Amino acid sequence: MRHLQKLLNTRQGQALIQPEYGMPDITDCAEGAPEALDRVRRAIKNSIEMFEPRLRRVKITHLPIGDDLNLHFGISGQIVTEKEQIPVHFNTTVTPSGSAVITAGPDLDDFGTADRSRADIRGGRISTGPVRDRYR
């Protein structure tokens, strides 16, 4: 989660050793026009697929919540380890200035990525376990 936060808050060209690292300038997309939303969604997906190899099957969904000027997206996918693939979901808020805030999502089922196992993210640690009432 920390790496996603850093990745989405770095502008392309800021990392001299890897100029493509980060996000393109998206400050002109804050109005929420459909083509602007798709541009931000694609930029998030492309950045994650290029620079976060631990997260696979990435899906970015626009979340039309709130009356503010922020853009809200769900990031879902699977964290791949040597032994298993753990479904995860993050909520992402992109401000009009282009900064991103990422939090752990409350429910994986909303985005069709969950199966019988769940992932719980607390303090940057991921643990799996059975479905519990807190997810209902």
Instruction: Render pLDDT for 98-122 as a digit per residue (tens, 0 to 9).
Output: 888 999 876 544 444 333 333 444 4
Instruction: Kindly report, residue by residue over 51-99, the tens digit of the pLDDT.
Output: 999 999 999 999 888 777 888 999 999 998 889 999 999 999 988 888 8
User: Among all chains, which residue has been given the structure tokens 């997810």?
Assistant: 135
**Helix ranges, 52-129 (H):** none
What is the average pLDDT value for the chain, to the nearest integer? Answer: 76
Longest Cα separation, the chain: 47
pTM: 0.70
Q: What dihedral angle (degrees, nearest 10) is formed by the CA atoms of 34, 103, 43, 19?
A: 150
Question: What domains are defined for the chain?
Answer: 2-135 (3.10.450.40)
Residue 103's Cα: distance from chain center in Å?
9
- DSSP annotation of 12 reads T
Listed ranges 33-37, 105-109, 130-134; the one with the highest mean pLDDT = 33-37
Average pLDDT over residues 36-47: 89
